[in-house]
């Protein structure tokens, strides 16, 4: 029986622990300094907004760990002695392991702005960040958020729920411009404005100004504007947390480097989740993918290897989802923000300007490589199959109905989409879906 | 807009205060005329000496207490001397109080009705409707629910829960005290059926419908982006208003039996009572049709509809209890307990009630067709019985719950025992004697007594006092989840033979917990969703709120091929997964 030590009780570390337990009788210890129990980081915003309390974000009841003989230890690890195979705690003491899994997650980026360490300036990643934000945003009259990404818009929504006016600075031309094509990004921009967020695109932060007591009182932008505020949210991305392997025999680049078995260069040491960087990533994936699902899948995979079944990390098609205020977003496959030479796209936007889909396909073969959906839900399973089988644009548009995952009675847009397709691509027309009896009655 | 909301709130609070204040209004004078027109001749002699005539009482409470005392004294003596024939079962207290009431309320029924219900509705709607503009674009608006004193068991929640419980206890057991409230809804009773005058059940039906409609509008505004929610809410509002409230009253007006066409056995537990069967079968063609309809509904309607649509067709589209839960109860849905233990308790209780209901009905029917049976058992033996079963269950299952150190399961057993002990104690109090039939140290079991006990324990205490009164403490589906025998029956069909399921969308779940938090039935939806498993639970009422609140579009209520309904837990994404 080996002792497996996992640093990090996020989705990656916890999935690894649960799967190792299913596959073996090894003794398992999960260490984290953040919280006693695994909670869903993705739900932090809902705690602040009062949709849930912390206890609701714990995916397993507290008895689960003891019942499954997964030892939980609340402590910060200050370093790892890789040669003697033990982790050393910041408060003293150590713990020996046979195999070590690093699942230390990410840390918020800070780009060395003057004043970035003032009180009232923070990122949002950990539970402690949330507590801090609760304190920092009490009785304030304006907040500034810097960085047009997923956490930035969540922070905007959080502050908005407390009626705190928000100025939102984005370096790019539109929201999440590094990922989203411009049509979709514009759609979200409009929605952000609809929620009375003071959105300012192509504006960069220059410095944060001290009020004399070590607290922020305003910020300056590179355009020379000064915006008074008592809170600054820095949400300019995250980077892998590699603190524990810096200056150690375990190799790292931006993340902790791992092979396709999620092994580091050092025997018996593995890295998974946000903190890991693939040495050779698959063509349709990236080397570092800081999303929930990757943490889960890596956790599932590493459990195999550790318990004796060498298992390659082989993620299927890329998928992701998010919600921007009220607009849900799902994506399957790859939809780049700028089309590549051999690519074309088909874009449909609903009259209400709140729903759209974008399908990217190969100009020559018509084979579809990915879809973005806003305000419409689609089935993961169907898209996984279509993209795997290399379906063409006409096939996909014709069969869109099969992929629809919207609740019953919701308005359906397949016929509109198909009609537009026929207009745009008259050489390969498809038949248009007929509305059902009930549907006609209701619309 | 904000001003409209504020005014609306003020108006509503005014109406609510007036409603509460009207409880204390008026004076009561019993006259000889009233007495002789209401009390049966054989009781007049006995009662006349206990009452003071022509004395005005300023307090309704004292008046009712005096009336009650008179009757109680007679009954106690009669029991002690075993003169069973002399016991008074008639509800003279209510009828006498109603007839003796004078003062502002009695003289201005309509005015009070307007000030309380019309102004109250206006106020509520002024408060609710502007949210469509004020709360921002359509979408899930659950902001601050857990910061709110009403929604998260704060002082407002405790206060409203207590008021509800008190209201239910008065309504069920002491309606004479709420005579003024009953009088105030009389204008509506007259409108629907001029020859009747309002009673306690009319008041209840009216308030119920009022709550469903007004809070239904709130639901429509809140979920205006989800057509599933909109249609469903309109449906429950319609069924409550038409089927549960208006049609039965009109039937009575037309000299037909009072009948709610959407209610059914075993929820409608008096369906097979002798008086009910007789009433229906002796009321001509329509009555016989009603009787046949009521039976068809649960024999054929339930399995067929549940097979195609799941139990939601009833529980969250048609049913009155469900209708109240989905409208007035919506602000409390997040308070349901999601723990595994709560689920275990739920199964124990709800199936227990189903068994109790079925046995009770069989006995009642046995009595209807054949002879009555009768046996008496020592009270303490009866009380020990559930205690022994409970303790035995716990003993044999203790290995199953190693994590329940002194947990809720044990508490429940203590609870059951406590309930029966309380029952015994209650049975000593004369008011409850008619619900808990005891004779000395014995419980007398006859089908009639068991039926009365069911009515008291399940019909009144569980479905009413706890079922609705506990909304602000335990969520809006306490009754539907832990007690309703019809829900248990629908659930069994849904679990084993139905096309309905909630589908999980591949690997998109981020385990955020919104779905579980807002599931009123306390289903830990996330536990399934994060494993990529379909949700097939007998308790799911198909409210669709889990699907609506999921920020990642993971859940969908579907009626599809039965094949593959119980899918393997597979969250998509990982090609090389070994479990
Ligand atoms: C606000 C927010 C919203 C998000 N929303 C989404 C979303 O919608 N969809 C999505 O796909 N992804 C989302 N993400 C990203 C997602 O949460 C992460 O990708 C995921 O949580 C990473 O999981 P992990 O297990 O790799 O690391 P983590 O969850 O970061 O867990 C690492 C744990 O290790 C602990 N730790 C680190 N170092 C030490 C040490 N030295 N000693 C002790 N403990 C240590 C940390 O404290 C932490 O508890 C979101 C992230 C945030 C912050
Ligand atoms: S599982 Fe979903 S649909 Fe079923 S009762 Fe719970 S919230 Fe409603
Ligand atoms: S199913 Fe949706 S709401 Fe439920 S935990 Fe998963 S992402 Fe959250």
pLDDT for B404: 47
Q: What percentage of chain B carries pLDDT values higher than 90? A: 70
In this predicted structure, the answer to whether residue A136 has a pLDDT above a threshold of 80 is: yes
Q: B576 to chain A: which residues are within 8 Å by CB?
A: 301, 304, 311-314
Residue B441 pLDDT > 80: no
Question: In this predicted structure, which of A8-12, A95-99, B127-131, B574-578 has the lowest mean pLDDT?
Answer: B574-578
pLDDT of residue B399: 56
Q: Give the pLDDT score at B416.
A: 61
Average pLDDT over every residue of B520-531: 97
More confident residue, B556 or B417: B556
Contacts of B136 in chain A (CB under 8 A): 194-195
Sheet strands side by side (includes B374-378): B374-378, B442-446, B438-439
Cβ(A205)–Cβ(A146) under 8 Å? yes
Contact list in B for residue A67 (CB cut-off 8 A) is: 402-403
Report residue B402's pLDDT band, with 50, 70 and 90 as the boundaries: very low
Q: What is the pTM of this model?
A: 0.94
- Average pLDDT of span B287-310: 97
Best substitution site from A10, A235, A250, A329 to test ligand 1's pocket, by max atoms within 8 Å of Cβ? Answer: A10
Interchain contact B233–A (C-beta under 8 A)? no
**Class at the top of the CATH hierarchy for domain A121-236:** alpha beta
DSSP annotation of A263 reads B
pLDDT of B83 higher than 90 = no
B231-276 per-position pLDDT tens digit: 999 999 999 999 999 999 999 999 999 999 999 999 999 999 999 9
Q: Is A83 helix (H, G, I), strand (E, B) or coil?
A: coil
Give per-residue pLDDT as tens, B89-113.
888 999 999 999 998 899 999 999 9
Nearest ligand (C-alpha, residue A46): 1
Phi-psi category of residue B207: left, alpha or beta, with phi > 0 → left and psi -120 to 50 → alpha: alpha
Instruction: For chain A, give every residue range classified as CATH 3.50.50.60.
Output: 3-107+239-306, 121-236
Residue nearest to atom 38 of ligand 1 (CA): A104
Residue B400: pLDDT over 60: no
Using 50, 70 and 90 to split pLDDT, how confident is the model at B426? low
Q: What is the pLDDT of residue B420?
A: 62
User: Which burial class, exposed, middle or buried, applies to B23 when counting CB atoms under 10 A from its CB (0-12, 13-18, 19+)?
Assistant: middle
Q: What is the pLDDT of residues A373-428, one digit of tens each?
A: 999 999 999 999 999 999 999 999 999 999 999 999 999 999 999 999 999 999 88
Q: ipTM of the assembly? A: 0.96
The CATH class of the A3-107+239-306 domain is alpha beta
Determine the pLDDT at residue B448. 84
pLDDT of B414 higher than 90: no
List, as one string, the DSSP characters of B131-165.
HHHHT-SSS---TTGGG-TTTTTSHHHHHHHHHHH
Q: Which two tokens stand for residue A254?
A: 């931006």
**Rounded distance, CA B25 to CA B180, Å?**
8
Give residue-wise pLDDT tens across range B4-52.
Answer: 999 999 999 999 999 999 999 989 999 999 999 999 998 998 888 888 8
Q: What's the burial of A224, exposed, middle or buried (CB within 10 Å: 0-12/13-18/19+)?
A: exposed
CA B158 – CA B153 distance, rounded (Å): 6
Q: Which of residues 393-412 of B touch A (CB under 8 A)?
A: 402-404
Residue B69 neighbours by CB under 8 Å, 6+ apart? B50
Nearest residue in chain B measured CA to CA from A192: B137
- pLDDT tens digits, A264-281: 999 999 999 999 999 999
CB of A292 closer than 8 Å to CB of A11: yes
Q: Please report which confidence band the pLDDT of residue A369 belongs to, taking 50, 70 and 90 as the band edges.
A: very high
Q: Are A124 and A157 in contact (CB under 8 A)?
A: no
Ligand closest to CA B481: 2
Residue A207 pLDDT grade (very low, low, confident, very high; cuts 50, 70, 90): very high
| Whether B510 and A40 lie within 8 Å, measured CB to CB | yes
Cβ B481 vs Cβ B349: under 8 Å: no
Identify whether the C-beta of residue A360 lies closer than 8 Å to the C-beta of residue A339. yes
Give the ligand 2 atom nearest the CA of B525: 1
Give the ligand at the shortest distance from the Cα of A126. Answer: 1
| Interatomic CA distance for residues A307 and A25, integer angstroms | 9
Average model confidence (pLDDT) across chain A: 96
Higher pLDDT residue, B570 or B421?
Answer: B570
Over range A188-194, report the average pLDDT: 97
The closest CB to that of A407, out of B526, B556, B574, belongs to: B556
Alpha carbon distance A391, A430 (integer Å): 15
Whether the predicted pLDDT of A233 surpasses 60: yes
Instruction: Quick: pLDDT tens for A376-391.
Output: 999 999 999 999 999 9
Q: Hey, of B517, B553, B556, B561, which one would you mutate to test binding to chain A, going by the most A CBs within 10 A of its CB? A: B553
The interaxial angle of helices B200-222 and B155-173, nearest 10 deg, is 150
- Residues of chain A with Cβ-Cβ distance to B147 below 8 Å are 50
How far, in Å, CA of A263 to CA of A101, rounded? 9
B385 CA distance to ligand 2 middle (Å) = 36
Output the pLDDT for position B573. Answer: 80
Smallest Cβ–Cβ distance between A293 and the set B548, B556, B573 belongs to B573
CATH superfamily of A319-442: FAD/NAD-linked reductase, C-terminal dimerisation domain (3.30.390.30)
pLDDT value of position B370: 80
Interchain CB contact of B3 with A (< 8 Å): no
Q: Which residue of B has its CA nearest to A308?
A: B578
pLDDT value of position B407:
54
Closest alpha carbon within chain B to A388 = B575
Q: Work out the pLDDT band at B575, boundaries 50, 70, 90.
A: confident
Chain A, chain B: beta-carbon pairs less than 8 Å apart: 173
Average pLDDT of chain B?
Answer: 90
Query: How far apart, in whole angstroms, are the C-alpha atoms of residue B33 and residue B53?
Result: 10
Q: Does B235 touch chain A (CB under 8 A)?
A: no
Q: Six-digit token pair at B184?
A: 């105030």
Of A191, A381, A407, Cβ closest to residue B572: A381
Domain ranges of chain B: 27-102, 150-332, 340-482
pLDDT of A83 strictly over 90: yes
Mutate to test the pocket of ligand 3, among B140, B510, B524 (most ligand atoms within 8 A of CB): B510
Q: Taking Cα atoms as reference points, which of B469, B464, B499 lies closest to residue B484? A: B464
Under 8 Å between Cβ of A42 and A329: no
- Distance (Å, whole) CA A17 – CA A71: 10
pLDDT tops 70 at residue B301: yes
Q: Each residue of B326-381: pLDDT tens digit?
A: 999 999 999 999 999 899 889 988 999 999 999 999 999 988 888 777 777 776 77
User: Looking at ligand 3, which atom is closest to the CA of residue B546?
Assistant: 3
Q: What is the pLDDT of residue B457?
A: 84
């Amino acid at each position: 029986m080996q002792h497996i030590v996992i640093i990090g009780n996020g989705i990656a570390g916890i999935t690894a622990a649960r799967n190792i337990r299913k596959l073996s009788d090894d003794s398992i210890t999960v260490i984290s300094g953040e919280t006693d129990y695994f909670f869903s980081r993705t739900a932090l915003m809902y705690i602040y907004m009062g949709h849930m309390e912390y206890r609701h974000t714990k995916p397993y009841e507290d008895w689960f760990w003891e019942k499954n003989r997964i030892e939980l230890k609340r402590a910060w690890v200050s370093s790892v002695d890789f040669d003697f195979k033990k982790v050393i705690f910041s408060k003293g003491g150590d713990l020996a392991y046979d195999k070590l899994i690093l699942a230390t997650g990410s840390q918020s980026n800070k780009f060395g702005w003057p004043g970035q360490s003032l009180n009232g300036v923070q990122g949002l990643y950990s539970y402690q960040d949330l507590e801090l934000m609760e304190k920092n945003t009490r009785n304030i009259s304006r907040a500034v958020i810097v960085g047009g990404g997923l956490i930035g818009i969540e922070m905007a929504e959080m502050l908005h729920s407390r009626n705190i006016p928000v100025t939102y600075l984005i370096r790019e031309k539109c929201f999440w411009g590094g990922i989203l094509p411009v049509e979709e990004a514009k759609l979200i921009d409009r929605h952000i404005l609809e929620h009375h967020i003071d959105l300012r695109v192509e504006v960069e932060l220059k410095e944060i100004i001290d009020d004399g007591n070590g607290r922020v009182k305003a910020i300056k932008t590179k355009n020379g504007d000064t915006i008074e505020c008592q809170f600054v949210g820095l949400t300019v991305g995250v980077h892998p947390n590699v603190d524990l392997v810096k200056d150690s025999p375990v190799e790292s680049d931006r993340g902790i480097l791992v092979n396709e078995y999620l092994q580091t260069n050092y025997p018996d040491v593995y890295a998974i989740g946000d903190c890991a960087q693939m040495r050779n990533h698959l063509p349709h994936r990236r080397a570092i993918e800081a999303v929930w699902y990757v943490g889960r899948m890596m956790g599932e995979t590493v459990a195999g290897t550790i318990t004796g079944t060498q298992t390659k990390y082989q993620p299927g098609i890329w998928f992701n989802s998010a919600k921007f205020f009220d607009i849900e977003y799902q994506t399957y496959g790859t939809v780049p923000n700028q089309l590549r030479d051999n690519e074309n796209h088909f874009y449909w936007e609903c009259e209400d300007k709140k729903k759209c889909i974008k399908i990217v396909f190969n100009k020559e073969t018509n084979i579809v490589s990915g879809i973005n959906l806003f305000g419409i839900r689609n089935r993961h399973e169907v898209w996984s199959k279509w993209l795997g089988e290399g379906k063409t644009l006409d096939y996909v548009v014709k069969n869109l109905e099969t992929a629809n995952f919207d609740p019953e009675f919701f308005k359906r847009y397949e016929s509109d989409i198909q009609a537009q397709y026929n207009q745009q691509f008259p050489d390969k027309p498809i038949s248009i879906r007929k509305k059902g009896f009930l549907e006609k009655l209701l619309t | 807009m904000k001003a409209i909301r504020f005014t609306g709130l003020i108006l509503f609070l005014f109406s609510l205060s007036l409603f509460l204040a009207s409880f204390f209004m008026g004076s009561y004078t019993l006259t000889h005329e009233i007495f002789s027109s209401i009390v049966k001749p054989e009781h007049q002699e006995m009662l006349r000496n206990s009452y003071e005539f022509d004395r005005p009482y300023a307090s309704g409470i004292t008046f009712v207490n005096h009336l009650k005392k008179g009757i109680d004294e007679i009954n106690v003596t009669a029991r002690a001397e075993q003169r069973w024939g002399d016991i008074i079962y008639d509800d003279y207290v209510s009828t006498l109080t109603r007839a003796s009431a004078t003062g502002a309320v009695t003289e201005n029924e309509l005015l009070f009705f307007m000030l309380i219900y019309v102004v109250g509705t206006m106020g509520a709607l002024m408060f609710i409707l502007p949210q469509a503009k004020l709360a921002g674009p359509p979408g899930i608006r659950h902001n601050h629910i857990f910061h709110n004193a009403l929604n998260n068991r704060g002082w407002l929640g405790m206060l409203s829960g207590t008021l509800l419980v008190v209201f239910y206890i008065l309504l069920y057991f002491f309606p004479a005290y709420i005579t003024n409230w009953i009088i105030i809804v009389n204008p509506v009773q007259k409108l629907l059926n001029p020859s009747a005058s309002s009673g306690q059940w009319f008041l209840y039906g009216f308030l119920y419908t009022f709550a469903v409609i007004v809070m239904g509008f709130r639901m429509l505004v809140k979920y205006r982006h989800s057509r599933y929610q909109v249609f469903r809410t309109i449906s429950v509002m319609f069924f409550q208003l038409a089927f549960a409230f208006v049609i039965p009253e009109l039937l009575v007006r037309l000299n037909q039996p009072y009948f709610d066409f959407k209610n059914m056995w075993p929820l409608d537990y008096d369906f097979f009572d002798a008086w009910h069967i007789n009433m229906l079968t002796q009321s001509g063609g329509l009555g016989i049709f009603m009787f046949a309809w009521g039976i068809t509904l649960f024999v054929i309607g339930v399995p067929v509809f549940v097979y195609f649509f799941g139990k939601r067709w009833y529980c969250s589209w048609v049913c009155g209890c469900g209708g109240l839960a989905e409208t007035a109860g919506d602000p409390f849905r997040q308070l349901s307990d999601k723990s595994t233990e709560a689920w275990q308790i739920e199964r124990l209780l709800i199936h227990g009630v189903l068994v109790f209901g079925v046995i009770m009905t069989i006995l009642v029917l046995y009595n209807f067709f054949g002879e009555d049976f009768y046996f008496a058992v020592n009270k303490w033996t009866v009380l020990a019985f559930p205690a022994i079963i409970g303790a035995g269950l716990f003993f044999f299952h203790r290995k199953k719950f190693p994590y329940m150190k002194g947990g809720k399961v044990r508490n429940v057993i203590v609870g059951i025992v406590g309930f029966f002990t309380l029952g015994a104690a209650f049975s000593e109090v004369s008011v409850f004697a008619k619900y808990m039939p005891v004779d000395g140290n014995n419980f007398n079991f006859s089908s009639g007594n068991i039926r009365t006990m069911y009515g008291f324990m399940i019909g009144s205490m569980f479905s009413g006092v706890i079922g609705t009164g506990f909304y602000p403490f335990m969520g809006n589906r306490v009754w539907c989840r832990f007690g309703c025998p019809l829900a248990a029956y629908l659930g069994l069909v849904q679990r084993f033979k139905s096309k309905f399921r909630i589908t999980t969308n591949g690997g998109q779940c981020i385990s955020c917990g919104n779905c579980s938090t807002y599931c009123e039935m306390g289903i830990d939806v996330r536990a399934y969703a994060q494993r990529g498993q379909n949700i097939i639970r007998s308790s799911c009422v198909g409210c669709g709120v889990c699907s609506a609140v999921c920020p990642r579009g993971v859940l969908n209520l579907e009626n599809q091929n039965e094949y593959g309904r119980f899918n393997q837990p597979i969250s998509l994404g990982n090609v090389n997964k070994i479990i």
